[in-house]
Amino acid sequence: MSFSRTTGRPRQSSRAMLEEAASELFLEQTYAGTTIGDITRRAGVSRTTFFNYFATKSDLLWVDVDAGLAALPAALAQCDRAEPVTVAVRHALLTLAAGFGPGRVPWAVTQYEVMATEGELESSALARFLVVTGRVAEFVAARPGFAADRDLAGRAFSSAVVAAAAAAAAEWAAAGVHRGDLAPYVDLAISPVCSGFRPVLDPR
């Protein structure tokens, strides 16, 4: 938790600068059509510094999504420990989904429409999926009274529920300009998963 460094050369650039330059270029040329060099040139920094702020070009597509997803641990942590696991996870995911509305549409969504067939997105998408799934699986496994012999069931539930949520997000994204809030989509998609796993995962 280091705040602003007092020593060393002060930063002349920032994630925000690069994100902004990238946003402009994505609108003009699409994601696939702009190179990292284009972005840094517009931002007025060297190509190398880009990698001081982002590990990957595709990270730019997911900045908004990642920001929303960052709230997951907190949402999981503040769940009632008495609740069944499945409903706890459902609540956490719905809280997360509530962060996304018509006003906040990530690049990954808009560029999805443009890229269509391109598999550019796919590669980076699974990385997010796995992170989220992993967090949920940890949460499930850490629940009091969770038997180790149900490990597979726990992981299956985590994967299934996150995949359902992702499917909902995709549908929401595909809804175009008329999409409203994300939460109802997610609720409809994940509820059956939760109810299906409830007898398996919840001891009573």
Task: Give the x-and-dash track for 181-200 against its own copies (CB under 8 A).
Answer: ----x--xxx-xxxxxx-xx
How far apart are CB 130 and DNA at their closest, in Å? Answer: 17
Among 23, 56, 110, 191, binds DNA (CB under 7 A): 56
Binding to its own copies in span 163-182, by CB under 8 A: 163-164, 166-168, 170-171
Nearer to its own copies, 8 or 199 (CB): 199
Alpha-carbon distance values, 41 to 10, 47, 66, 141 (Å): 20, 8, 25, 47
86 lines the binding site for DNA (CB under 7 A): no
8 lines the binding site for DNA (CB under 7 A): yes
**Amino acid at the residue 62:** W
Among 12, 148, 178, 199, binds DNA (CB under 7 A): 12
Residue 48 parent element (H or E):
helix 47-53
122 lines the binding site for DNA (CB under 7 A): no
47 lines the binding site for DNA (CB under 7 A): yes
Asked if 75 and 96 count as a contact pair (C-beta separation under 8 A), the reply is yes
Residue with token string 């990270």: 59
How far apart are CB 3 and DNA at their closest, in Å? Answer: 12
Q: Residue 122 corresponds to which tokens in the numbers above?
A: 């796919």
Could you tell me how many helices (H) and strands (E) the chain has, helices first?
Answer: 10, 0
32 lines the binding site for its own copies (CB under 8 A): no
160 lines the binding site for its own copies (CB under 8 A): yes
CA atoms of 4 and 180, how far apart (whole Å): 38
Among 23, 24, 36, 160, binds DNA (CB under 7 A): 36
Asked if 186 and 203 count as a contact pair (C-beta separation under 8 A), the reply is no
Nearer to DNA, 56 or 191 (CB): 56
10 lines the binding site for DNA (CB under 7 A): yes
Quick one: which of 176, 170, 162 has its CA closest to 133? 162
What does 1-45 look like in DSSP terms, one character per residue?
A: ---S-SSSPPPS--HHHHHHHHHHHHHHH-TTT--HHHHHHHHTS
Total number of residues shown for the chain:
204
Residues near DNA (CB under 7 A) are 5-13, 34-37, 44-49, 51-52, 55-58
* Contact positions vs its own copies (CB under 8 A): 119, 122-127, 129-130, 133, 151-153, 155-164, 166-168, 170-171, 185, 188-190, 192-197, 199-200
